[in-house]
Amino acid sequence: MDVQTELESTLEDKGGLKRSLRITVPVETVDEQINSRLQKLSHTTKINGFRPGKIPLKVIRNRFLSQVEAEVAGELIQANFYRAIMEKELKPAGNPEIDTDGAKVGNNFEFTANFEVFPEIQLADLSSVSATRKSATITDADIDKMIANLRQQRATWDVVDRAAQTDDQIKIDFEGSIDGEVFEGGTAEGADITLGSGQMIPGFEEGLLGMSADEEKTFPVTFPEDYSAENLAGKEAQFKVKAISVSEATLPELDQEFIVSLAVEEGTVEGLRNKVRENMTRELEQRLEAQTKATAFDLLLEHNAIELPETLVNSEANQLAHKAHEGHDHGDHHHHDLEPHLEEARKRVSLGLLLSEIVTVHELKADADKVRANIDRMADPFDDKEAFVNWYYSQPERLAEIENVVLENEIVDWIFNQVNVIEEESDFDSIMKAN
């Protein structure tokens, strides 16, 4: 059905990015579309008491007119809204809200579409801006430390009859409370804690130092201000602890058996060091790339304040809220509070619009050779690298993910080409521990 016809449209600026578009479709078009659909129904509908194709139009009209009017209204809205915005060169952000009394025989069809448009973006001049780009090299001492960590991870633990020291493992029962009330997730039985590992919140492991088996102790610990559970962040808790046992580590010898267990087939220390350096190099490159990207994107946001469509912000916040509550809804389909997610949503929407503008204005594309190099790098840890590469190239949606990563890297390079770059040498541990 062709529902693109002569129409009248009036655009109203409602302030900011909000627009209201009133569209009128003439009565001749409305009647033509309704009657055409009714005629078709008269030939295809089956009604008891009438032969197929011989149902009087009056009967069809009495039974199906309301349904047909609703269907025609929907098609007229869809076709003529998008036609009108193209004629007026508008770029809606999100779906419009439609207000209409519906399509009726013998009347013009009118509807109003309320929507937001994408903002006009003028990218800021970054030539006077400075940005730090970090780098690091992996030293022999870094490799020694990593091998020591690998030995520690495969340590065997032997119970000892003495007070707990740094690097010991202490088995404990504990109960945490705030203002006398035990909080969710604050209790455990038989928990193994390696002292000095940093696996617990700051201050907790320190409170366990010097404890012996069967000893009980209560000490305060303050949760970090940025703790993931907002109800605990920044609060002081009292932890009641009972030590069950203290164990010390026995590290495996750096021999052929241990080295082979780490998937180094030649079983030599040299082979292990080469493998560790290779893995550390890959991790370091990925972390440096992520930090450089974060620096570039933060800089872009800082110097490009743009007006954001509320529709897109709320949609993004809703997705963030849904993701945050995954696994906790127990099948309930209720609306989540968007307020805690609005700031992050604004950042994401703003960044998305700015990146899109850079790509469009400067005609950036994902270089095919860089896409392949990225996939090859990802394939390195796998034995059958060719199968891994072929899998990505045979999955368009997966390949698109890598193309997006490469395109983002192209944008990062473009940003750093606009600014004054300050090169800063760091070290492996500092880079890996940085947020």
Q: Are both 8-117 and 258-433 of the same fold?
A: no
Whether 371 and 393 have beta carbons less than 8 Å apart is answered as no
CA–CA dist 112, 102 (Å, integer): 11
| Predicted local distance difference test score (pLDDT) of residue 333 | 47
Q: Give percent of the chain above pLDDT 70.
A: 96
Give every CB contact of residue 23 below 8 A, 6+ residues apart in sequence. Answer: 7, 8, 9, 80, 81, 84, 110, 111, 112, 113
Which CATH class name applies to 8-117? alpha beta
Q: Say yes or no to pLDDT of 1 above 50.
A: no
Q: Give tens-digit pLDDT for 34-47.
A: 988 888 888 888 87
- Decide: residue 91, CB within 10 A, 0-12 exposed, 13-18 middle, 19+ buried: exposed
Look up residue 167 and give its DSSP letter. T
Task: Identify each DSSP E strand in 14-137 by its residue range.
Answer: 18-25, 92-100, 109-117, 130-137
- The phi-psi region of residue 134 (left if phi > 0; otherwise alpha if psi is between -120 and 50; otherwise beta) is beta
C-alpha distances (whole Å) from 393 to each of 282, 366, 378, 379 are 22, 15, 13, 13
Structure tokens at 110: 């009118």
Q: What is the pLDDT of residue 328?
A: 56
pLDDT band at 175 (very low <50, low <70, confident <90, very high): very high
What's the CA gap between 347 and 320, in Å, rounded? 12
Residue 323, pLDDT above cutoff 90: no
- 152 in helix, strand or coil? helix
Using pLDDT thresholds of 50, 70 and 90, give the confidence band for residue 329: low
| Model confidence at 335: pLDDT above 80 | no
Residue ranges of domains in the chain: 8-117, 155-250, 258-433
Give the three-class secondary structure for 9: strand
Q: What is the pLDDT of residues 207-252, one digit of tens each?
A: 999 999 999 999 999 999 989 888 899 999 999 999 999 999 999 9
User: Quick one: what percent of the chain has pLDDT higher than 90?
Assistant: 77
Confidence (pLDDT) at 91? 94
Q: Which fold has domain 155-250?
A: Chitinase A; domain 3 (3.10.50)
The confidence score (pLDDT) of residue 326 equals: 74
Residues whose CB falls within 8 Å of the CB of residue 212, separated by 6 or more in sequence, listed in order: 162, 163, 164, 243, 246
Contact by Cβ (8 Å): 301, 350: yes
* Predicted model pTM: 0.76
Predicted local distance difference test score (pLDDT) of residue 51: 72
Q: For 3-7, 130-134, 279-283, which range has the lowest pLDDT when averaged over its residues?
A: 3-7
Cα-based torsion angle of the residue sequence 366, 368, 369, 373 in order, rounded to the nearest 10 degrees: 70
Length of the chain: 435
Closest CA to 409 of 302, 285, 277, 320: 285
**Does 332 have pLDDT greater than 60?**
no
420-427/130-137 β-pairing: parallel
When the pLDDT of each residue in the chain is averaged and rounded to a whole number, the result is 91
Confidence of residue 57 (pLDDT cuts 50, 70, 90): confident
Tokens of residue 228, six digits: 């993931």
The fold of 258-433 is Trigger factor, domain 2 (1.10.3120)
Reduced 3-state DSSP string for 204-237: HHHHHCCCCCCCEEEEEEECCCCCCCCCCCCCEE
| 3-class SS shares of the chain: helix, strand, coil, % to 5 | 45, 25, 30
Please say whether the beta carbons of 101 and 114 come within 8 A. no
Q: Give the other-Cβ count within 10 Å of 171's Cβ.
A: 18
- Give the tens place of pLDDT for each residue, 363-413: 999 999 999 999 998 898 888 999 999 999 999 999 999 999 999 999 999
Residues 6+ apart with CB under 8 A from 133: 292, 295, 416, 421, 422, 423, 424
Query: Residue 262 — pLDDT band, cuts 50, 70, 90?
Result: very high
Cα–Cα distance for residue pair 119/96, rounded to 1 Å: 16
